[in-house]
Chains A and B, each alone.
Chain A
């Protein structure tokens, strides 16, 4: 088997000190292979957001190791962390987090700009990514001119434009209606079919049902880890 995209060993995260200590993660270990589509489910307070932030290199664990595409993230300095977020991870947030008053194309271009890619090439790749999510004709629209589902698809385009090893989605459909949810999930299915590794954090069963592997988190521990479909075929 090839090198796993995600390799997490005995991840622990504590907040606060003394009596007020909160154990958000109490030893999470898992590996995610290339091309997998994983849904991490859990009720609020189960530690899934903490896990997501650590997986996204936005936060650091109290203990445990985290190898992202073979790189030990906990040993990286700010500069390399920024590089890792830029090259290895594509984020999709619950709140879309597009930059306001900036066109969809410019939003999608942003990670490429930080990667130092030339404007012409950037524009081409941004439009290609928007085409993948079916929004090529909305490239010039600003976020407030797009519906929630469209904004989230722009965010997905932005996440995949750098061709990251891992697409990380935190409650991507949490703010969306049924129709838009279906649109976004269709995009995820397509991307996974094209070989992208996707980790989705959600509390919606229908989102979990679409994934190939379902992990259930309770009180900072993995309680279920079920494969629903084989990797690579669908």
Chain B
């Protein structure tokens, strides 16, 4: 008796009860689709987070004031970091002050979340390119000219349908000329990265923040693999004049690593929840197969009386169960692939190929495992008992 023949018997057995078979498959379908899709959502959000962090520039470190120890970050300190001997890995240093400010244009006003004062090197270091117009120059910064580059959100709020470049806005009672608009950044987080404005450090200090401490210093490393070296160089220099408790250093690469780990945990959690539904689907298969075996006891008896060996009966019911789970699993993969083309809770799912393989493999194993018990029961039936069964 060939294997193909047994498969045909199994298919006939399944199609005899189409509604029941399809409902059982639905259980596996949902389980498999849930596993793939939830893992894809977890993966997608991890991808989004890392994109966002990479957008900040992964080869930078940020020195922030810890607000303790009295002394704080100053422009002199920032200048001291540009030291080819003590800190050879540093490409650029951008002192940063930031505060929130209200920007007004012809009666319309907009509260900018972070009004940044910095040097021109910041644009490259922070991976914030200018879309329209241009960035301000080192000369602007040196002269304290009141020019500003605004984020797309600000441009939209204040200049709907207008070209903002060249227009004058009022910030903190002073007039600033808009010289450029930043390109849009992907902002999937809670903060709108486009709701910002960047102006020369000197001008911002003069108008908004005064000449106190810097908010932070953005240090760009010459290459991504030098970030850790740069971090220790920077702290060596800072320790010469500052209490180590007075500042802390944020390393984008470390941040990325932490976030990726967090996202990984999150993905595992989602996958585990989905795996439970796959397990429930598997129990559904056992249930249905047990019912099928009970219901078809007579048929099993007839088949045995006609000379079906135990092995053939076992194979037939095992294949029926496995077909249920594999067809259900394959449809689940299709459902997940379709579902992943939509945005789910603000996250664009990214399918992990291994999760597809894993889910299919698990559904196959579920069929074999959960179908095994009823199939063994069918095969063990004595023909005389099976024939007498009503």
Contact = CB atoms under 8 A, between A and B. Distances in A.
A116 interface: yes
A179 B93 CA distance: 107
B373 interface: no
A64 B49 CA distance: 80
A59 B384 contact: yes
Given A82-B307, A91-B305, A101-B16, A116 B2 contact: yes
Q: Tell me which of B304, B305, B308 has the highest count of chain A C-beta atoms within 10 A of its own C-beta.
A: B305
B309 A116 contact: no
A102 B12 contact: yes
A110 B299 CA distance: 12
B85 to A, nearest CB: 87
A53 B303 CA distance: 15
A114 B12 contact: no
A113 B306 CA distance: 10
Interface string B239-269: 0000000000000000000000000000000
Interface string B1-14: 11001000000100
A79 interface: yes
A83 interface: yes
B384 A85 contact: no
A66 interface: no
B310 interface: yes
Given A58-B383, A113-B1, A114-B312, A83 B307 contact: yes
A221 B245 CA distance: 106
Contacts of A98: 302
A88 to B, nearest CB: 9
A196 to B, nearest CB: 18
Contact of B305 (A58, A83, A87, A101): A58
A82 B308 contact: yes
A116 B301 CA distance: 19
Contacts of A100: 16, 299
Contacts of A113: 1, 5
B295 to A, nearest CB: 11
Interface string A83-100: 111110001010001111
Interface residues of A, number: 28
A47 interface: no
Given A53-B384, A58-B384, A99-B302, A115 B309 contact: no
B335 interface: no
B10 to A, nearest CB: 13
A113 to B, nearest CB: 6
Nearest to A78: B310
Nearest to B310: A78
B293 to A, nearest CB: 15
B387 interface: yes
B298 interface: yes
B305 A85 contact: yes
A13 to B, nearest CB: 12
Interface in A42-97: 53, 56, 58-59, 78-79, 82-87, 91, 93, 97
Interface of A: 53, 56, 58-59, 78-79, 82-87, 91, 93, 97-102, 110-111, 113-116, 158, 162
4 nearest interchain CB pairs? A86-B307, A82-B309, A111-B306, A58-B384
21 contacts: A58-B383, A58-B387, A78-B309, A78-B310, A79-B311, A83-B307, A85-B307, A86-B307, A91-B305, A93-B387, A98-B302, A99-B299, A99-B302, A100-B299, A114-B303, A114-B306, A114-B307, A114-B309, A115-B1, A115-B307, A162-B307
Given A85-B304, A101-B12, 9 more contacts: A78-B310, A79-B309, A85-B306, A85-B307, A85-B383, A86-B306, A110-B303, A111-B306, A113-B5
